Amino acid sequence: MNRRIVVKIGSSSLTSEEGGLSRDKVRFFADELAGLRRAGHQVLLVTSGAVAAGFRRIGYRTRPKLVHEKQAAAAVGQALLMKAYQEAFAAHDIPVAQILLTRPDFGNRERAQNAQRTIEELLKLQAVPIINENDTVATDELKFSENDTLSALVANLTKADGLYILTDIEGLYTADPRKDPNARRIEQIDAITEDLYRIAGGAGSAVGTGGMRSKIEAARIAMGGGVATFIGRVTEPGDLTLAVEGRGRGTYFTTSLHSLPAKKQWIGFLSVPQGRIVVDAGAEAALLHGGKSLLPAGITGAEGEFHPGDVVEVVNAEGKTIGRGVSNYAAWQITAVAGLPSDEAQRRVEAPRVEVIHRDEWVTTHVKKEAEIHE
């Protein structure tokens, strides 16, 4: 069956031992993607590597660490990275196209639709869209996580059939495989939970090498859009085809328990929240377990400057995010009615409806504690 596939390749999979871009590795992945094309699949590539490609060409002896240095290296390296891909895919007579995106491009529906239409036209014309973050203009608070989040958003935006996040470790393990001889690879995950984030470890940990936590978060985003996800290793010819066929060296994340309509996908994952609403324990339980809307009585405060129609995060008393929704109130209105019964709130301020966030415009992002995995 022909499928639409998004493949994400990180910097660690594209660099040489010296830290620069490896053209041999670029050619290897181009060959793998071309194999998928020959099998009839549509292919989109989300790639890192611009900094690696550019830092020496611009004059840095080692990979830069400061933001403005990385941005300068990326500005030079992006052209070199695309040239490497262009030459590698040319061997298969496949045209490529560059698309640079930032987080706000997904938060703005018109810009997101423009990007989607462009990608659809490129696929129609048999080109491979090569997508990267626009590093030279992205700010820290609006950046993606190692392009993992970007790949998940692209997969949802384009209604892909599968997301394949390639890394230097063969998926997610029950423990650090380099320290624990009893560590076992998790073959399949049906629901992402707090246990999985704990297993993944923090940045720089052995199991979390390459940012495994960010990859799990990307899988959660993709699963919310009904996109099955693979996180694993591709190092030998044919490995990517095996991964697509369900026989890859990695962990598969299913979509059996996760699928949101397009509107809720945008609210939950594509939008950029403009503020936060703090709720008490009763409202938290009603939102997470009662299938209820958010009313003024359950609110204890608001943060930021937002207006009716803006997407906001909702946090509990401990400051933990439990979900997102479209607010029917401005921030100042919420402050004025926080904790009040609905009839009193309506007398205090003018709002289009009594619900601060209606259930139809609410997405839970809270994760359960217990894992549902298959080893």
190 membership: H or E segment, kind and range: strand 188-191
pLDDT at 256 over 70: no
155 membership: H or E segment, kind and range: helix 148-157
pLDDT band at 373 (very low <50, low <70, confident <90, very high): low
292 vs 282: CA distance, rounded Å: 11
- φ, ψ dihedrals at 353, nearest 5°: -155, 160
- φ, ψ dihedrals at 141, nearest 5°: -75, -10
299 vs 316: CA distance, rounded Å: 9
pLDDT band at 203 (very low <50, low <70, confident <90, very high): very low
Of the CA atoms within 13 Å of residue 93, those in its CB half-sphere come to 1
pLDDT at 375 over 80: no
Task: Enumerate the domain spans of the chain.
Answer: 4-261, 273-364
Q: Which residues contact 236 (CB under 8 A, 6 or more apart)?
A: none
pLDDT at 140 over 80: no
Q: Which fold has domain 273-364?
A: 2.30.130
305 vs 319: CA distance, rounded Å: 18
pTM, 2 dp? 0.84
Tally of CB atoms within 10 A around 366: 14
Closest listed residue to residue 204, CA positions, set 49, 17, 375, 12: 12
270 vs 176: CA distance, rounded Å: 32
Q: Which residues contact 366 (CB under 8 A, 6 or more apart)?
A: 288, 320, 321, 322, 323
- Assess contact for 199 and 172: CB atoms under 8 A: yes
pLDDT at 80 over 70: yes
354 vs 141: CA distance, rounded Å: 32
- Assess contact for 364 and 299: CB atoms under 8 A: no
pLDDT digits (tens, 9 = 90+) for 141-183: 445 656 899 999 999 999 999 999 999 889 998 887 778 888 8
pLDDT band at 193 (very low <50, low <70, confident <90, very high): confident
By DSSP bridging, strand 276-279 and strand 299-303 are antiparallel
pLDDT at 345 over 60: yes
CATH class label, 4-261: alpha beta
Look up tokens 């080692």; give the residue. Answer: 62
pLDDT digits (tens, 9 = 90+) for 121-135: 999 999 999 999 887
